[in-house]
Amino acid sequence: MIVHNTGPCVRGCTIRGEHNPTCEGECRGCLPRPTAIGNLCQSCYNRVEYGLTELTVRVPWLEILGRNLAMNASAAPQDGETFMRGDPSEGSVLHAAFLRADEIRSDLDNWVGDVRDKRNLHGDPIDDPAKWLLPHLPWIADTDAAETFAGEVLRDVGQAMAWPTPADVEPSKHLDVPCPRCATIALVYTPPRWEGQPARVECTEPDCARVYTEDEWDEIKKLALLGVA
């Protein structure tokens, strides 16, 4: 169940151009952004949800990439590229990409354990912790851990993106059309990152933060071509 609380976003988000009565001087906006789901504003919730979705692909990618690059560890490594654990003569050389995947997976596994304990859930070991956490995100957002969880997920996604996947060849792009909801030129199109994933169209205006499904976006484009929208 999605919970709608009242109060400011726990991540300290503010509304652009809106100010507290006591605001003095110039600022971009200091009025707190209200929560939308649990203790997070809609923009933060969308980013965390998308971040978990990205990690379902990027963690396995880093593991595969790290193993492949470690096979060339006999060559002189570039600075910061390869880390070592144990005795290299025993083949215990691990690439930074693999180590980063291991750290991210450990972070996510800890959250899985925490959610399981607090929700009294039991089951088999989780192969994809990011995918497992996705349906529990509304519940996590409504707990005191929402701020920490959001910060860790967004940090992990940012670190994982240091090694682009083959799908990153086609990057996200800004659309030169207004958002049907808020009329702001702030739409971003993100192509599918892997087979079967839908494309994503999201309004990046924080006060809107609407995410359109592929079907919704296809209908909007049809209406625009007919001159209806």
Q: Give the domain ranges of the chain.
A: 42-163, 168-229
In this prediction, residue 47 carries a pLDDT of: 94
pLDDT, average across residues 191-195: 66
- Give the integer Cα–Cα distance in Å for 114 and 133: 11
In this prediction, residue 88 carries a pLDDT of: 42
In this prediction, residue 225 carries a pLDDT of: 62
- Give the integer Cα–Cα distance in Å for 109 and 118: 14
Residue with the two structure tokens 């959250």: 111
Encode pLDDT of 71-90 as tens digits: 655 444 444 444 444 444 44
Q: pTM for the complete prediction? A: 0.71
Encode pLDDT of 2-13 as tens digits: 444 668 999 988
Find all residues with CB under 8 Å of 51, minimum gap 6, and list them. 153, 154, 156, 157
pLDDT, average across residues 191-206: 78
Q: Per mean pLDDT, which range of 97-101, 137-141, 189-193 is the poorest?
A: 189-193
In this prediction, residue 108 carries a pLDDT of: 97
Instruction: Answer yes or no: is pLDDT of 61 > 80.
Output: yes
Instruction: Answer yes or no: is pLDDT of 228 > 50.
Output: no
In this prediction, residue 194 carries a pLDDT of: 58
How far CA 114 is from CA of 48, 110, 122, 126, 135, in Å, comes to 18, 6, 12, 13, 15
